[in-house]
Amino acid sequence: MFSCLHSIQLKICGEVFSNFSRIYSIEYSDFTLPKASSLLLRATEMDSKQAFGMAVKILRSRHGLAQEQLAPSQSYVSDVERGLKSPSVEKLIELSAHLGVHPATVLIKSQLLQDPEMSKEMLLSQISKELED
């Protein structure tokens, strides 16, 4: 567990990752944490590229895939996961196929990570209503 001189606020912004971990968003000031995985420590406000990258990383890890298995270039996947690059629609479809999920799943997962206040049910209900129009 983390030890520090000041209090920290943890906010769950993801679902269960592997057997025991969760993805947490940490707000902190004026204290240091031990070295930790970049997957576990994230800024409170995530931009869309970061959220998309985290969604890809979560889905890839959940399926036990290496970065090399998603695209010809491991460095491209790394850049996407770190929020440095945004894939085209064609690349989104390709990445989704390798992940074994629908492209909308990656986008929905990234939206849920970007807006942790929104529940999966609320988002799916909104999408369902928008598709009826």
pLDDT at 45: 60
* Per-residue model confidence (pLDDT) at position 71: 85
All domains of the chain in start order, with CATH: 45-132 (1.10.260.40)
Phi, psi of 91, rounded to the nearest 5 degrees: -70, -35
Mean pLDDT, range 95-109, rounded to an integer: 96
Structure tokens at 64: 């036990």
Express each pLDDT in 63-91 by its tens digit: 999 999 988 899 999 999 999 999 999 99
pLDDT at 118 over 50: yes
